[in-house]
Structure 1
Amino acid sequence: MLELQNVSKTFNPGTVNEKLALDHVNLHLEPGDFATIVGSNGAGKSTLFNAIAGEFIADAGHITLDGQDITFLPDYRRSKQVGRMFQDPLRGTAPHMTIEENLALAYLRASHRTSAFSRISRADRQLFAEKLSALGLGLEDRMKQPVGLLSGGQRQALTLLMATLVTPKLLLLDEHTAALDPATADKVLELTKKIVAENHITCLMITHNMRDALTLGNRTLMMDHGRIVLDIAGEERAHTTVDGLLQRFAENVGHALDNDRILLSTETQ
């Protein structure tokens, strides 16, 4: 499904601010894989997502999605195949447009109906209402309201729906619950698991919560200095504890994980 071969990226090369962000990254995801990613700040997690989404062209390597080489494909063309959510609830929606208008934009873009004559039909609106109803937030009764009136959790749930309204080949979740209060984060996470499972979506999710990293999906990846340093799945993952994961990380890279948010999350579990 997704294949990264020796993908590298250096920002500001040849300057005092030179930064090797991705260092010959190799990754293979099978259809339906749900992999969580953890690592310290600057480990390359979001940069990896940016490379896959096409926000920049990698300096070296190849990226293949569902058999298609997308290494040099522009980001706007990749967005028809790749859904993405960010940590900030404000990034995924247009606040001055209504819920229905936001859904319409996402639907028209992802379904390739982008001609000047594309229109949303009554059947499309019914589909929107049904999908909103499935979220269990009452948004199906507020379709004509501006998105800016929604809470952060409601906006993230709406963004999740927009990203999956037309099932993407790949879904990228960049700490999409981190800015929410715990109760709301849990609800959005449950919606995420439900939508991903029902639609068999291949998914990569960045998280700072070590428990989630080991229990969500079927694979756990750890990154450090632009490299994937640990990739566990199956029985090995099922028998790995949070402390064991931290220990293996330290053994593989030669130093302990130094992300305060991650370490705090292990203490509160």
Structure 2
Amino acid sequence: MLDIVNISKTFNPGTVNEKKALSGVSLHMERGDFATIVGSNGAGKSTLFNAIAGGFITDQGSISLAGRDITYEAEYRRSRQMGHLFQDPMRGTAPHMTIEENMALAYLRAGKSQRAYFSRVSKADKAAFREQLARLGMGLEDRMRQSVGLLSGGQRQALALLMATMVPPDLLLLDEHTAALDPETADKVLTLTREIVAGGNITCLMVTHNMKNALELGNRTLMMDSGRIVLDVGGEARKNMTVEELLVQFKENVGKGLDNDRILLS
């Protein structure tokens, strides 16, 4: 489903602010793979997501999605095949539009028809929106005419997750999408994430600072450092792995221990 081959990216090359953000990253994911990504600040996690989503063109390498080369494709074109959630609950939804209008916009944007943008949602579509909102267990199905700006951060993030997956994307990118939420709400959104990804057999990459979640969610765990993927563990090797064992493996591969307090204390 996703095939990344030897991509690199250097920002501000040839200046005092030169920063090599990605260095020869390769990654292959089959349909339905769910990989969590852990790494210190500046390791390249969000930069990798931006490279996949089309926020910039990489200096070298290639990116293919669902068998199609998207290396030089515009970001807005890639967005029709991808869902992307961010740490900030305020992103991903339009606050001055109603819940129903937000869902309609997401539904039409992800439509496969060439004229999807110019279509209108039907009564049946709106009924389907209501059913999907009911799955969240937050009572939003009874508030569809309410402005999204009146929702809590957790409600907005759950709505954004639903909008990103209501038409199952080829790839779902989750960039610390629960980090800004309180623990109880974060757990609820993670549970929804697990159910939606598994139910739709969606290929997913999720950045997290929580080492426990990184080993419990999905079927693979990746660790990044200095713009590289330094560890990719799955299958039986990951099944009974502890956080301590993961940190030891990271140190063996990189030659230094993980030094991010936010990760180590989570």
Determine the structure 1 residue equivalent to 2:124. 123
Cα distance in 2 for residues equivalent to 1:173 and 1:56: 18
- Deviation for aligned residue 1:254: 1.0
Task: Normalising by structure 1, report the TM-score.
Answer: 0.97
In percent, how many aligned pairs have the same letter? 72
Superposed CA deviations along residues 114-170 of structure 1, whole A, max 9, x for unmatched, are: 556411111110110010011111100000000000000000000000000100000
Determine the structure 1 residue equivalent to 2:34. 34
Secondary structure of the corresponding residue to residue 186 of structure 1: helix
Determine the structure 2 residue equivalent to 1:157. 158
Secondary structure of the corresponding residue to residue 97 of structure 1: coil
Aligned Cα RMSD in Å? 0.9
Are the structure 2 counterparts of residues 19 and 117 from structure 1 closer, same or farther at C-alpha, using a change threshold of 3 Å? closer
Determine the structure 1 residue equivalent to 2:43. 43
Q: Does 1:107 align with 2:120?
A: no
Q: Which moved more, 1:235-244 or 1:173-182?
A: 235-244
What letter corresponds to residue 156 of structure 1 in structure 2?
Q
Task: Normalising by structure 2, report the TM-score.
Answer: 0.98
Cα distance in 2 for residues equivalent to 1:245 and 1:116: 45
Q: Does 1:72 align with 2:94?
A: no
Report if the CA contact (8 A) 2:89-2:154 is conserved: yes
What letter corresponds to residue 42 of structure 1 in structure 2?
G
Cα distance in 1 for residues equivalent to 2:260 and 2:95: 33
Q: Which moved more, 1:29-38 or 1:238-247?
A: 238-247
Cα distance in 1 for residues equivalent to 2:117 and 2:126: 19
Q: Does 1:143 align with 2:144?
A: yes
Cα distance in 2 for residues equivalent to 1:34 and 1:145: 33
- Deviation for aligned residue 1:239: 2.5
Cα distance in 2 for residues equivalent to 1:74 and 1:93: 21
Q: Does 1:54 align with 2:46?
A: no
Report if the CA contact (8 A) 2:108-2:116 is conserved: no
Secondary structure of the corresponding residue to residue 89 of structure 2: coil
Are the structure 2 counterparts of residues 139 and 37 from structure 1 closer, same or farther at C-alpha, using a change threshold of 3 Å? same
Cα distance in 2 for residues equivalent to 1:176 and 1:110: 21
Cα distance in 2 for residues equivalent to 1:70 and 1:145: 37
Secondary structure of the corresponding residue to residue 90 of structure 2: coil
Superposed CA deviations along residues 31-66 of structure 1, whole A, max 9, x for unmatched, are: 100000000000000000000000000000000001
Determine the structure 2 residue equivalent to 1:87. 87
Q: Does 1:220 align with 2:221?
A: yes
Report if the CA contact (8 A) 2:108-2:117 is conserved: no
- Deviation for aligned residue 1:112: 3.8
Cα distance in 1 for residues equivalent to 2:163 and 2:170: 14
Determine the structure 2 residue equivalent to 1:211. 212
Are the structure 2 counterparts of residues 245 and 116 from structure 1 closer, same or farther at C-alpha, using a change threshold of 3 Å? closer
Cα distance in 2 for residues equivalent to 1:258 and 1:162: 36
Report if the CA contact (8 A) 2:82-2:169 is conserved: yes
Secondary structure of the corresponding residue to residue 265 of structure 2: helix
What letter corresponds to residue 92 of structure 1 in structure 2?
G
Q: Which moved more, 1:144-153 or 1:238-247?
A: 238-247
- Deviation for aligned residue 1:229: 0.1
Secondary structure of the corresponding residue to residue 135 of structure 1: coil
Cα distance in 1 for residues equivalent to 2:51 and 2:99: 30
Determine the structure 2 residue equivalent to 1:5. 5
Cα distance in 2 for residues equivalent to 1:173 and 1:115: 25
Cα distance in 2 for residues equivalent to 1:225 and 1:117: 44
Cα distance in 2 for residues equivalent to 1:141 and 1:212: 32
